[in-house]
Amino acid sequence: MKIKRQIIERLSITCTLDEYHKAIATYYDQGFAIVRGGPALKGPGVAYKDKYLIIAEKEIDT
């Protein structure tokens, strides 16, 4: 029987936009799919200046 395990990583980082893009590229290189990524919000329609959120997931056979 094959069992798939789902790995979900949640990352909140304070960085520049370039560093944020590098973090996303690193997740893609490791085989993750980005479920959600973008500026972290502190209220409806109001984003933090240099804070980003990445939610990534992948499935592996165990």
> Could you read off the pLDDT tens digit of each residue along the chain, which spans 62 residues?
778 889 999 999 999 999 999 999 999 999 999 899 999 888 888 988 899 999 999 998 87
Tell me what pLDDT residue 31 has. Answer: 92
pTM for the structure as a whole: 0.77
Could you tell me if 2 and 59 are in contact, meaning their C-beta atoms sit under 8 angstroms apart?
no
- Residue 41, CB-side half-sphere exposure with 13 Å CA sphere: 7
